[in-house]
């Protein structure tokens, strides 16, 4: 018979706050935000997914079922918290951009949307606090996902997913072979980073036919080189008129959401962001000597 263990540590209360904030955000949105755009469904998914995952983590912790979980409990909670913080952060940016931008009149629907945005921001802060409390300290033996390189892997995969959204609607990589190379960079690095996360959460790193630490270092070097090329190539073929690029159209950004040109600029910026993340990953991976997975 499982025994419920009530925790009084800060991590428990931070998770409880994240649970409440994410629940309020999607409940208020579903109840009265009157969503008319598919982007709103994404925001609701972000809040509902974060709520469900946090509820699962809390239940496992309360009933002391960590040893029975099919995943590594050293790696799973902080990995989920990091993804939840990024999801709620994206919803906190996207939701007002599509549903509050340009509205000058007050209504009950707008009030619901404001409340949802506020609680989405609060949920983001709560999840960031959870990650900060859970991450490994210097000299501490912890799971790989609790270290800086592990958390960077989460950020890298999330940024890549956002890039995929921007380049697929509308399709913006089929006009030149150089842009197809950029797509290959995004896909290869995303797949490898996601595979590393899955291996750590499932505690399967020991099954690899080569040392995991050496693989991480080699992959970090490869990813930095590939993203460096994409960071240079994408702006050249999207914004340089000599290579078929264009300048920002007049009226772009006057309406809710992002125009096509802004989406391509977002891809360029996010590619540079991922380059910085992979560079930091390379530096940390080279110094990481105290982690067990």
3-state SS, residue 255: coil
The distance from CA 216 to its chain's CA centroid, rounded to whole angstroms, is 20
**Which tens digit of pLDDT belongs to each residue from 116-175?**
999 999 999 999 999 999 987 766 667 888 888 899 999 999 999 999 988 887 777 887
* pLDDT given for residue 292 in this prediction: 43
- Stretch 238-259: mean pLDDT, rounded? 69
- Stretch 276-292: mean pLDDT, rounded? 76
* pLDDT given for residue 268 in this prediction: 93
Question: Which residues, 6 or more positions from 41, have their beta carbon under 8 angstroms from its beta carbon?
Answer: 35
Give the torsion through C-alpha atoms of 179, 183, 189, 192, to 10 deg: -150
Total residue length of the chain: 293
pTM: predicted TM-score of the whole model, two decimal places: 0.88
* pLDDT given for residue 87 in this prediction: 95
Residue with tokens 């790193």: 205
Domains of the chain plus CATH, in order, are 1-138 (1.20.140), 147-292 (no CATH)
Token digits for 211? 């040392």
- Stretch 229-247: mean pLDDT, rounded? 81
């Amino acid at each position: 018979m499982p025994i419920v263990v009530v925790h009084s540590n800060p991590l428990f209360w931070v998770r409880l706050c994240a649970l409440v904030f994410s629940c309020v955000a999607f409940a208020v949105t579903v109840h009265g935000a009157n969503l008319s755009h598919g982007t709103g469904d994404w925001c609701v998914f972000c809040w509902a997914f974060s709520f469900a995952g946090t509820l699962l983590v809390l239940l496992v912790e309360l009933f002391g079922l960590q040893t029975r979980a099919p995943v590594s409990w050293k790696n799973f909670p902080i990995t989920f918290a990091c993804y939840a913080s990024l999801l709620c952060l994206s919803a906190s940016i996207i939701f007002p951009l599509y549903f509050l931008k340009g509205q000058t009149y007050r209504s009950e629907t707008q009030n619901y949307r404001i409340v949802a945005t506020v609680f989405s921001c609060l949920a983001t802060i709560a999840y960031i606090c959870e990650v900060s409390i859970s991450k490994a300290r210097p000299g501490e033996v912890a799971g790989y996902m609790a270290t800086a390189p592990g958390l960077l892997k989460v950020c890298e995969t999330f940024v890549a997913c956002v890039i995929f959204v921007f380049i697929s609607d509308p399709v913006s990589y089929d006009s030149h072979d150089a842009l197809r190379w950029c797509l290959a960079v995004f896909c290869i690095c995303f797949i490898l980073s996601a595979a590393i996360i899955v291996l750590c959460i499932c505690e399967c790193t020991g099954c690899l036919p080569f040392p995991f630490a050496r693989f991480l270092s080699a992959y970090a070097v490869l990813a930095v080189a590939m993203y460096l090329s994409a960071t240079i190539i994408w702006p050249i073929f999207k914004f340089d008129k000599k290579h078929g690029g264009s300048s920002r159209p007049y009226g772009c950004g006057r309406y809710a959401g992002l125009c096509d040109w802004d989406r391509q600029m977002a891809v360029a910026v996010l590619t540079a962001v991922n380059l910085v993340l992979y560079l930091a990953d390379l530096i940390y991976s080279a110094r990481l000597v105290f982690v067990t997975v």
